[in-house]
Chains A and B, each alone.
Chain A
């Protein structure tokens, strides 16, 4: 089955800097790659997703890139703000019922 690895497990940046979180997946048939943000005491919230027919997607300060050949995808957050501090999860799936999640990255943005 699919296996998703996520790095780093913790990331600390200064406010205004960029943050990058990377994930690799094992099943080349995976075609959907969402990213979730989980704040303390809340469930994961979708922040951006990308499908396998697209190499990059941007939404304001957040972007995701996908390299299907290398089977890795990354989340980029620019101009980080303290409210970006949270745990971020990547996931990969072939269909909606077969989603596998990474172990999570705890991002801390220091003011």
Chain B
């Protein structure tokens, strides 16, 4: 079974802090994704990566950046956290050229 692991289930940070969310997958998938999930809005794509060191903006990249130095790891970075970034963050991975996406259990991030 595909395993997508997000390093933290819950995280509380302060406004202005630099925040790192980590995601690791164990199935040698080429594609990795970061979404945020808010009530009534479904899942919205922040960034995705289809290869090591490659990244593409999704629908809501503002205020975020990503890093993919190794194939199995995809990091989401909040450069200067703000309260409107309080949300559930979901990481996913998929085999290149194939679907579907496999999700981690999410990180619930609160920015105070």
Contacts and interface: CB of A to CB of B under 8 A. Distances in A.
B48 A97 contact: yes
B59 to A, nearest CB: 8
A97 B50 contact: yes
Interface residues of B, number: 25
B98 interface: yes
Nearest to A102: B42
Contacts, number: 53
Given A103-B40, A104-B42, A43 B105 contact: yes
Contacts of B100: 34, 46, 49
Interface in A56-97: 89, 93, 96-97
B31 A43 contact: no
B23 to A, nearest CB: 11
A46 B105 contact: no
Nearest to B4: A43
Contact of A44 (B43, B56, B97): B43
A89 B99 contact: no
A93 B43 CA distance: 13
Nearest to A51: B99
Contact of A43 (B41, B48, B56, B103): B103
A111 interface: no
Report the interface size class on chain A: 20 to 34
B103 A45 contact: yes
B61 to A, nearest CB: 14
B95 to A, nearest CB: 9
A10 B66 CA distance: 34
Interface string B24-36: 0000000100000
Nearest to A90: B42
A25 to B, nearest CB: 13
Contact of B42 (A32, A49, A96, A101): A101
Interface of B: 4, 31, 40-45, 48, 50, 56, 59, 90, 92, 94, 97-106
